[in-house]
Amino acid sequence: MLSEERSKDIETDALSAPAAGRLANPDVRDEFGLETLDMSMGPQHPAMHGLLRLILELDGETVVRCDPVMGYLHRSKEKISENRMYPAVIPITDRIDYMNNMAMEYGYCLAVESLMDVEIPPRADAIRALMNEFSRIMSHIPSIGFLLLELGAFTPILYAFRERERIQTIMEAVTGARMMFHYIRIGGVKADLPEGMPEEMWKYIEGLEERLEPDFVDLIAGNEIFVARTRGVGKMTQEKAVEMGLTGVPLRCTGVEFDVRKHYPYGWYKNLDFDVVTDEAGDVEASYRCRIGEVKQSIRMIKQILENLPEGEVMGDTGRRIRPDEGDGFGRVESARGEYAVHIVSDGTDTPYRVHYRTPCTVNMQLLQEIVPGHYLPDIMPIMGLIDPVSGAWDK
Amino acid sequence: MAVTLPEGDLNSRLENYLDGFRNRHGLEEAEVDGNVVRLVVKPEVLLAVLATAKERLRILHLSFITVVDRVGSFELTYELLDLRGGQVRVKTTVEGEEPVIDTVTEIYPTANWHEREAYDMFGIAFKGHPDLRRLYMWQDHFDHHPLLKSFEISTKRTFEGLR
Amino acid sequence: MGTVLQYLDQEPFRFLLSVGAILFLVLNLAAVFTMAERKTSAYIQLRYGPNRVGPRGLLQPAADVFKLFSKENLSPSRADLWIFLGAPIAMFIPAALVWLVVPFAPNAVIADLNVAIVFFIAVTSIGALGLIMAGYGSRSTFSLLGAMRGAAQMISYEVPLILSLLGVIMLSGSLSLVDVVNAQGGGFWHWYFLPQLPMFIVFYIAGIAEARRVPFDLPEGESEIVGGFMVEYSGMTWGLIQAAEFASMGLISAITATLFLGGWQPPIEALDFGNFNWIWFGLKTALLVFTFQWIRWSLPRLRMDQLMDFGWKILVPICLIWLFVTAGLMLLFPSVF
């Protein structure tokens, strides 16, 4: 641990240095001698996707400086994970990104499995991918709703939650839980699909395919106010996006084709045929189009999986006690928000020595302090919708 | 303003990366394992290695920085992706209780919050970081770095009796 | 009986009765509109809406009002208390006052002012004052932003609102609302929304902005400035602001119906109910209120600069052009108009 003076030194150094997201001269006045207005938005704010505080400096309605402060939902996932046995960490990962839990479980299990000599049965792999795609739809559709909610339109969120509700019913039938699934286990999945479930899923997916265009495209995409509020807002170049380490929809909406499922394939995704949805514009409207496109790709993938669902076991042989070899294990999946990676350091005991979660939200949120200055105050909300962070995921 | 991403065969690309690193820097270890180029470097050359990766080899994406508290020393893992199947994993070890290491924010701006997180959780000082404040924990009145092994929690369970 | 009525028609009873009637109407309108709003939004959003209190949830507004009355009135410790508490009143009174000049049915108007339209314009613009008072008095950045937005918006949209009235005034040749309604008699093809269609649309849009409804609810903007000027209000002070909003929504609808949709005039003469023509007035107002709510639950919100652009660059020019067109037509075809 650092000594007190040293840590103070470092902090004061950092605080006095002019930096990104910090104004060089705090006593800034314009030519009329007018000061800027400081405003603290959040942590209790309806549009902050949970608990985020933005320290804003406003010149009229224009944001001059934006400094995100996080940690209000920090639950020390990494420390807890260090003190639990390997299987007991899975429910902890569920609560990281509570909108897209399956991907969180999947990444962790992949990381542990990379340290173990265990063969995943093909049926388990297929079911994992299947549930992941359902989870992605379950996250993408409400995030479209949230974007509209933050623009002031109330209705789409309820249409979105109707879809989420229906998927949750399917998830409940398969996993036994509506939100915190604890379904993907080290070596496979908890249980096989219930009898008749593939047909139910097929029925739902066909219905969703029919409803997607009228409910989420026709009602929203052509709306002039929606276009006026989103086109050109939060615009960024490809270089900026890559430089900021963005992944997921915020990166793809600038036109950079990167999807972990395609370029670092894992599990059943190697066998699936799908496109990486990209857009050129790199603004909020493009991210909305990307999300709709990804839902369509997810539907396509679910259909492929359901058509060729392999038979057999759903749990590999991991032995009675899960004790991975010493070394570093990595798992990387594409969550609904971007690249989610888990790095596990094992010392050969039955608890991990260190678990690091790379959540896409934390990284993508750096965008706020870069692109919000210069925008109007109400533009922060669509930009939040572009990043679509989840409080639990950025705070861990 | 398009970003050019690497193309071509993955294996030859990985070999190319490995050669690129080997020819320019003194590495402690370097090997290709699957689709990963593993490097172990001294903290002094870390900055140069990452600069090579970004500027010469065009590995554009810094995925994450993991810090592991090895009690007495800290092991840092920098995971780089070329976004087309190749990975570069750079490991370095910093000795001492009050570690200081150069910041990589100049090379990879995305490292800003990764380093803030590492500073918050482990107290690692990143020299030259533009904005080194705590990311998650309280800004003041909290002098601990919770992911250090010396930070004990009361509910540690090891299940040693279980067989 | 007749003598009693005659007696009641004298001052001060007439005055007291009018005030009582207006207050009764406005306060009940707030309750009815809340209910209507919740039910409309529910059916738009695939829900049932309130359906627990009373038959089909019809007593829900009563429960709401009871809840509001029983809540504590909080005020920020550093608020300017007089301004803070005066603001809801300053917003409510203008919204209630204009109802004095609205003709509900033939001969059913409390004050037949010969400058009723000017009265309407003058009194509604006082509402902006209450909004600024609320925002300034609460001493919060959010409410200050809301108040600044509200002031800019209300003043800007006053211009197209007034300009769009000029066509009607020119056609009817009077500033009295009673005269305006009388001039529209004889079937729906005599209503002013046909010759004044662009003005009707402009007035309707500017009216939404004056009533601070989506897509022009920037002073509230609950997803960005969390309620704006009313963020610090609670209990009945909040209820009063809410009542003022609903009253002004009803008011704008009623004035639109009066000026452009013929007021209490029936659509065809065969459906003339005499003194019961207030049914037509009520139906038209309710229809307009419903469209307000329909828009409110379908559209996102504009941004401040877009709002200003829309007001000054689109609505005002439309008004000016149509004003000249109307004047030209009246000069060319004096017999028709």
B147 confidence band (pLDDT: 50, 70, 90): confident
Instruction: Quote the pLDDT of residue A22.
Output: 39
Average pLDDT, rounded, for chain C: 85
C326 within some domain: yes
Q: What is the pLDDT of residues A260-273, one digit of tens each?
A: 988 888 888 888 88
Residue with tokens 């604890």: A182
> Which positions ≥6 away from B162 have C-beta within 8 Å?
A321, A350
CA distance B4 to chain A (A): 9
CA distance A84 to chain B (A): 7
Reported ipTM: 0.87
Instruction: Quote the pLDDT of residue A295.
Output: 92
Instruction: Quote the pLDDT of residue C280.
Output: 86
CA distance A381 to chain B (A): 22
Residue with tokens 């019961």: C276
Q: What would the mean pLDDT of C32-37 be, rounded to a whole number?
A: 86
Q: At residue A114, what is the residue type?
A: S
Q: What would the mean pLDDT of A287-294 be, rounded to a whole number?
A: 91
Q: What would the mean pLDDT of B93-108 be, rounded to a whole number?
A: 86
Q: What would the mean pLDDT of C83-96 be, rounded to a whole number?
A: 87
Q: Which domain holds residue C249?
A: 73-332
* pLDDT higher at A49 or A123: A123
Give yes or no for a contact between C214 and C296, defined as CB atoms under 8 angstroms apart. Answer: yes
Q: At residue B141, what is the residue type?
A: H
DSSP helix/strand/coil, A66: strand
Q: Is A306 exposed, middle or buried (0-12, 13-18, 19+ CB in 10 A)?
A: middle
Q: At residue B19, what is the residue type?
A: D
A314 confidence band (pLDDT: 50, 70, 90): confident
User: What residues of chain C lie within 8 A of the CB of A63, using their CB?
Assistant: none
B5 within some domain: no
C139 confidence band (pLDDT: 50, 70, 90): confident
Picking from A16-25, A36-45, A196-205, C32-41, which range would have the lowest pLDDT averaged per residue?
A16-25
What token pair was written down for B115? 């380093």
Domain total in chain C: 1
- Burial string for B79-105 (b: 16+ CB within 10 Å, else e) reads bbbbbbbbbbbbbbbbeeeebebbbbb
CA distance C295 to chain A (A): 10
A343 in B contact zone (CB under 8 Å): yes
User: What residues of chain B lie within 8 A of the CB of A345, using their CB?
Assistant: 66, 68
**3-class SS shares of chain C: helix, strand, coil, % to 5:** 70, 0, 30
In a 13 Å sphere around the CA of C189, the CA atoms on its Cβ side amount to: 1
Give yes or no for a contact between A256 and A278, defined as CB atoms under 8 angstroms apart. Answer: yes
C114 confidence band (pLDDT: 50, 70, 90): confident
Rg of chain C, C-alpha, whole Å? 21
What token pair was written down for C97? 């006052």
Q: Is B35 exposed, middle or buried (0-12, 13-18, 19+ CB in 10 A)?
A: middle
Residues A57 and A132 in one domain: no
Residues A333 and A266 in one domain: yes
Domain total in chain B: 1
Q: Which domain holds residue B30?
A: 10-127
Chains that touch A (3 or more CB pairs under 8 A): B, C
B80 within some domain: yes
Crossing angle of the two packed helices C13-44 and C235-260, in degrees rounded to 10: 90
User: What residues of chain B lie within 8 A of the CB of A68, using their CB?
Assistant: none
Instruction: Quote the pLDDT of residue A33.
Output: 62
Residue with tokens 């959540």: A359
Instruction: Quote the pLDDT of residue C25.
Output: 82
A269 in B contact zone (CB under 8 Å): no
Q: What would the mean pLDDT of A31-46 be, rounded to a whole number?
A: 76
Give yes or no for a contact between A229 and A151, defined as CB atoms under 8 angstroms apart. Answer: yes
Q: Is the pLDDT of residue A21 over 80?
A: no
B118 within some domain: yes
A interface test, pick of B135, B137, B138, B150 with most A CB neighbours within 10 Å? B135
Residue with tokens 């976004």: B83
Q: Model's pTM, two decimal places?
A: 0.86
Residue with tokens 């004052």: C129
Q: What is the pLDDT of residues B14-25, one digit of tens each?
A: 888 888 887 777
Among A22, A79, A321, beta carbon nearest to B153? A79
B112 within some domain: yes
What token pair was written down for C118? 């000017």
Residue in C closest to A59 by C-alpha = C145
Q: Is the pLDDT of residue A255 over 50?
A: yes
Among A71, A84, A256, beta carbon nearest to B137? A71
Among C46, C141, C214, beta carbon nearest to A152? C214
Residue with tokens 């897509």: C215
User: What residues of chain A lie within 8 A of the CB of C298, using their CB?
Assistant: 153, 155
Residues A230 and A370 in one domain: yes
Chains that touch C (3 or more CB pairs under 8 A): A
Q: At residue C234, what is the residue type?
A: S
Q: What would the mean pLDDT of A205-233 be, rounded to a whole number?
A: 88
Q: What would the mean pLDDT of A200-207 be, rounded to a whole number?
A: 91
CA distance C131 to chain A (A): 18
Instruction: Quote the pLDDT of residue A7.
Output: 53
Instruction: Quote the pLDDT of residue C336.
Output: 67
A–C contact: 3+ Cβ pairs < 8 A: yes
What token pair was written down for A358? 């790379």
Residue in B closest to A328 by C-alpha = B77
CA torsion sign, C30 to C35 to C37 to C38?
Answer: positive
A40 confidence band (pLDDT: 50, 70, 90): confident
Q: Parallel, antiparallel, or unpaired: how do β-strands A53-59 and A62-69 relate?
A: antiparallel
Report the DSSP beta bridge partners of residue A342. Answer: A331, A357
Instruction: Quote the pLDDT of residue A14.
Output: 45
Q: What would the mean pLDDT of B129-148 be, rounded to a whole number?
A: 83
Residue in B closest to A353 by C-alpha = B68
Q: What is the pLDDT of residues B16-58, one digit of tens each?
A: 888 888 777 777 777 888 888 888 888 888 888 888 888 888 8
| Best CA proximity match to B126, nearest among B114, B138, B143 | B114
CA distance A348 to chain C (A): 50
Q: Do A79 and B147 touch (CB under 8 A)?
A: yes
Q: Do A377 and C301 touch (CB under 8 A)?
A: no
| Best CA proximity match to C144, nearest among A377, A188, B158, A52 | A377
DSSP helix/strand/coil, B35: coil
Residue in B closest to A21 by C-alpha = B131
C28 within some domain: no
CA torsion sign, A24 to A29 to A30 to A35?
Answer: positive
CATH code at position B42: 3.30.460.80
CA torsion sign, B51 to B52 to B56 to B59?
Answer: negative
Q: What is the pLDDT of residues C266-305, one digit of tens each?
A: 888 777 777 788 888 888 888 999 998 898 888 888 888 8
Among C41, C47, C304, beta carbon nearest to A61? C304
Q: Do B60 and A395 touch (CB under 8 A)?
A: no
Q: In what order do the strands lie in the sheet with A53-59?
A: A37-41, A53-59, A62-69
CA distance B35 to chain A (A): 9
Among C44, C215, C302, beta carbon nearest to A155? C44
Q: Do B131 and A238 touch (CB under 8 A)?
A: no
| Best CA proximity match to A97, nearest among A134, A50, A131 | A50
What token pair was written down for A359? 């959540």
A interface test, pick of C142, C223, C296 with most A CB neighbours within 10 Å? C223
CA distance A323 to chain B (A): 11
* pLDDT higher at B10 or C256: C256
Q: What would the mean pLDDT of A62-78 be, rounded to a whole number?
A: 87
C2 confidence band (pLDDT: 50, 70, 90): low
* pLDDT higher at A15 or A196: A196
User: What residues of chain A lie within 8 A of the CB of C145, using their CB?
Assistant: 39, 58, 61, 377
What token pair was written down for A239? 């270089």
Q: Do C46 and A158 touch (CB under 8 A)?
A: yes
CATH code at position A180: 1.10.645.10
Average pLDDT, rounded, for chain A: 84
In a 13 Å sphere around the CA of A356, the CA atoms on its Cβ side amount to: 26
Chain C residues with CB within 8 Å of chain A CB: 41, 44-47, 141-142, 144-145, 149, 214-215, 217-218, 221-226, 297-306
Instruction: Quote the pLDDT of residue A17.
Output: 42
User: Rounded to an integer, what distance in angstroms lies between the CA atom of residue B60 and that of residue A305?
Assistant: 33
**3-class SS shares of chain A: helix, strand, coil, % to 5:** 50, 15, 40
Q: Dihedral through CA A113, CA A114, CA A115, CA A116, nearest 10?
A: 50
Q: At residue A205, what is the residue type?
A: I
Q: Which domain holds residue A61?
A: 4-69
B72 within some domain: yes
Among B68, B133, B153, beta carbon nearest to A345? B68
User: Rounded to an integer, what distance in angstroms lies between the CA atom of residue C270 and that of residue A112?
Assistant: 82
Q: Could you give the percent of chain A with pLDDT greater than 70?
A: 91
Q: Do A350 and B85 touch (CB under 8 A)?
A: no
Q: What would the mean pLDDT of C153-181 be, rounded to a whole number?
A: 87
Q: Is the peptide bond before C300 cis (omega within 30 degrees of 0)?
A: no
Q: Do C223 and A223 touch (CB under 8 A)?
A: no
Instruction: Quote the pLDDT of residue A32.
Output: 64
A238 in B contact zone (CB under 8 Å): yes
Q: Do C47 and A158 touch (CB under 8 A)?
A: yes
| Best CA proximity match to C144, nearest among C154, C153, C134, C152 | C134
| Best CA proximity match to A67, nearest among A114, A19, A113 | A19
Among B66, B112, B159, beta carbon nearest to A366? B112
Q: Is the pLDDT of residue A18 over 50?
A: no
Instruction: Quote the pLDDT of residue C140.
Output: 84
Largest pairwise CA distance in chain C: 66
A298 confidence band (pLDDT: 50, 70, 90): very high
| Best CA proximity match to C216, nearest among C279, C137, C160 | C160
B153 within some domain: no
Among A7, A343, A363, beta carbon nearest to B77? A343
C103 confidence band (pLDDT: 50, 70, 90): confident
User: What are residue B101's phi and psi, to 5 degrees?
Assistant: -145, 155
Residue in B closest to A16 by C-alpha = B131
Residue with tokens 């929304």: C193
Q: What would the mean pLDDT of C222-250 be, rounded to a whole number?
A: 84
Q: Could you give the percent of chain B with pLDDT greater than 70?
A: 93
Q: What would the mean pLDDT of C53-69 be, rounded to a whole number?
A: 85
Number of residues assigned to chain A: 396
B116 within some domain: yes
Residue with tokens 């200055």: A373
Residue in C closest to A38 by C-alpha = C141
Instruction: Quote the pLDDT of residue B156.
Output: 58
User: Rounded to an integer, what distance in angstroms lies between the CA atom of residue C251 and that of residue C99?
Assistant: 7
Instruction: Quote the pLDDT of residue A1.
Output: 43
User: Rounded to an integer, what distance in angstroms lies between the CA atom of residue B1 and that of residue B4?
Assistant: 9
Q: Is the pLDDT of residue A25 over 50?
A: no
Instruction: Quote the pLDDT of residue A204.
Output: 92
User: What residues of chain A lie within 8 A of the CB of C45, using their CB?
Assistant: 154-155, 158-159
Give yes or no for a contact between B77 and A344, defined as CB atoms under 8 angstroms apart. Answer: no
User: What residues of chain A lie within 8 A of the CB of C301, using their CB?
Assistant: 151-153, 225, 229, 378
A223 in B contact zone (CB under 8 Å): no
A interface test, pick of C212, C303, C307 with most A CB neighbours within 10 Å? C303
Q: What would the mean pLDDT of C115-135 be, rounded to a whole number?
A: 87
B128 in A contact zone (CB under 8 Å): no
Q: What would the mean pLDDT of B82-103 be, rounded to a whole number?
A: 86
Instruction: Quote the pLDDT of residue A13.
Output: 47
Q: Is the pLDDT of residue C7 over 80?
A: no
Number of other CB atoms surrounding residue B22 within 10 Å: 12
